[in-house]
Amino acid sequence: MFHKFYPQKDFDSVYEIDFQALYEAGFRGLIFDIDNTLVPHGAPATEKVIALFQSLRELGFQTTLLSNNKEPRVSSFQEKVGGYFIFDGKKPAPGNYRKAMDLMGSNLNNTIFIGDQLFTDIFGANKLGLMSYLVHPIHKKEEIQIVLKRYLEKIVLYFYNRRKR
């Protein structure tokens, strides 16, 4: 019933993901959400995030930031980390996930989406057939509409975690 919201894998943070192994397995494109995936909501890119994106480029990955946020937020973040960006992403609609792959020259077989929300990030990637990784939200402080969604996510995550055992 909830399978369309289940990620293929989940992690405590993006720093737990073995990007070297992913590259060796043939993955070449990474699409990231920003807020509460890479930094707390509204925070600027940190030195740690900048270093992560530099190491991803050194490995050979192309990256795109895909956010439902407005252009000033997304473009200022991208200026620090590099890669491509798409603002007002309209997630979970699949169009901008496709656009991100087009920008990077990647496809469904060699691209992964990484985000913190089931009903936008993961659901959108799954609708397209894109590999989806869920990371735990970095910070509890979020906009009210996201806080309300988190209550529903807890139900889905309960069944997801039961399935994993």
pLDDT for the residue numbered 165: 62
> Among 47-51, 118-122, 124-128, 139-143, whose mean pLDDT is lowest?
139-143
Pairing of β 9-11 and β 84-86: unpaired
Per-residue tokens: 39: 């930094």
Report helix, strand or coil for 116: coil
Taking a C-beta distance cutoff of 8 angstroms, is the pair 6, 153 a contact? no
Q: Express as a percent the part of the chain with pLDDT over 70.
A: 91
Report the predicted TM-score, pTM, of the whole model to 2 decimal places. 0.90
CB atoms within 10 A of CB 88: 12
Give me the sheet containing 29-32, strands edge to edge: 9-11, 131-135, 111-115, 29-32, 62-66, 84-86
Rg of the chain (C-alpha set): 15
pLDDT digits (tens, 9 = 90+) for 28-68: 999 999 999 999 989 999 999 999 999 999 999 999 999 99
Both tokens of 130, joined, read 């894109």
Written as one letter, the residue type at 34 is I
Binning pLDDT at 50, 70 and 90, where does residue 24 land?
very high
Query: Which CATH class, in words, describes the domain spanning 3-164?
Result: alpha beta
Helix (H, G, I), strand (E, B) or coil at 10: strand
